[in-house]
Amino acid sequence: MGEVDPAFIQEPEHRPRVTYIEGQGIPLIDLSPIHSSGDVSAIEGLVKEIGNACKEWGFFQVINHGVPLEKRQKVEDVSRKFFAQSLEDKRKVRRTEKAVLGYYDTEHTKNVRDWKEVFDYNIEEHTNDKEVTAEWTNLWPEYPPEFRKTCQEYAQEMVKLAFKLMELVALSLGLPADRFHGFFKDQTSFVRFNRYPTCPNPHLALGVGRHKDSGALTILVEDDVGGLEVKPKTYGEWIRVKPIPNAYIINIGDTIKVWSNDKYESVEHRVIVNSERDRFSIPFFFLPALSTMVKPLEELTNEQNPAKYRAYNWGEFISTRMQSNFQKLDVENLQICHFKTTK
């Protein structure tokens, strides 16, 4: 990836801080009750666990999730094969300022200095909305030859798991299990392949700087290298997430934060790089349709608890966010705090 950008040295927020809570980890939740029928008490207990995790942590890990291990291993394999190609070959499916899917590395983006390279692909092909300037068309590489099929099969497993998790989130909020389903017709969800190369000066760089996810849910698989850190509001310090074999790491995004009217929390997180091993991860971002107007749900607001956010169009919001990787905007990158109605 080249030498460390001097800007890393000039901006203190890019330096990983070393204050952690030792021995503390994000909640680990067993999803096996959703695969069995008739055990009402087990489901109720699971719903309570999900609710507590969303409220107190914004992050949790899940086991017994139902995703076939074979499909997970295959998608990890094609990810590594793709990144092992020459930079010239990878850039044949390169993102642009307008086409927001495909490959990019931090050497050719204008204002992204994270120490990584990425490939994104959409779950569903979209007819571009006239009101949205970004293009959401997948760019599939020729190598490896099984790339497209493997990616599409894995994506469907992620969609199934995401809907199961959203049903549990809905129940934990006192809503019908299918309350969120309608928002994801013509979803804009996508999968991202991340490679974080070894860094000669890891104390001066981050794989990904501190941020919050803007969508509904993120479902992450990572290798055993680790490096993900989260900062729950309850603790106020960075906590290193320990990878658990065959588990998925789940986090709540800003969209659920808004839908729940701040009952559930979207939490800051970042990725630390190292000087010894490359790190690979595959997040799935569960995102609503471009036409969705995101706002607090009516069932969760009243005179005593009024809506804390103005409605915003998801398509315009996410397109602006993704395009900002390739241009220096005259204003701060769009955030949900810009739609806040109360302090």
Concatenated DSSP letters of 143-200: SSTTHHHHHHHHHHHHHHHHHHHHHHHHHHTTS-TTTTGGGGTTB--EEEEEEE---S
CA distances from 83 to 9, 96, 120, 313, 336 (A): 27, 18, 12, 34, 33
153 belongs to a structural domain: yes
Query: Residue 122: its pLDDT value, please?
Result: 94
53 belongs to a structural domain: yes
Token pair recorded at residue 140:
């599939």
19 belongs to a structural domain: yes
Residue that the structure tokens 């809503």 belong to: 175
Token pair recorded at residue 176:
């019908």
Query: Which CATH number do you get for residue 18?
Result: 2.60.120.330
170 belongs to a structural domain: yes
Q: Which of 331, 336, 341 shows the shortest CA–CA distance to 317?
A: 336
| Inter-residue contact 219 to 250 (CB < 8 Å) | yes
Query: Residue 128: its pLDDT value, please?
Result: 53
Q: Which of 155, 247, 242, 161 shows the shortest CA–CA distance to 193?
A: 155
Query: Residue 200: its pLDDT value, please?
Result: 83
86 belongs to a structural domain: yes
Domain tally, the chain: 1
Task: Note down the domain range covering 95.
Answer: 6-339
Query: Residue 251: its pLDDT value, please?
Result: 97
Distance CA(248)–CA(269), nearest Å, equals 16
Grouping H, G, I as helix, E, B as strand and the rest as coil, residue 102 is strand
CA distances from 252 to 168, 310, 343 (A): 13, 20, 21
DSSP for 196-264, written as a single string:
E---S-GGG--SEEEE---SSEEEEEE-TT--EEEE-TTT-SBEEPPP-TT-EEEEE-HHHHHHTTTSS
Neighbour-count burial of 152, counting CB atoms closer than 10 A to its CB (0-12 exposed, 13-18 middle, 19+ buried): middle
Low-confidence ranges of the chain (pLDDT < 50): 1-23, 108-112, 326, 328-332
Distance CA(308)–CA(310), nearest Å, equals 7
Residue that the structure tokens 């010239």 belong to: 88
The total number of residues written for the chain in this structure: 343
1 belongs to a structural domain: no
- What one-character DSSP code corresponds to residue 4? P
Query: Residue 209: its pLDDT value, please?
Result: 84
Query: Residue 127: its pLDDT value, please?
Result: 54
- What one-character DSSP code corresponds to residue 49? H
- What one-character DSSP code corresponds to residue 264? S
286 belongs to a structural domain: yes
Query: Residue 338: its pLDDT value, please?
Result: 83
Residue that the structure tokens 């999803």 belong to: 31
Grouping H, G, I as helix, E, B as strand and the rest as coil, residue 217 is strand
* pTM for the full predicted model: 0.88
250 belongs to a structural domain: yes
Residue that the structure tokens 């001097």 belong to: 6
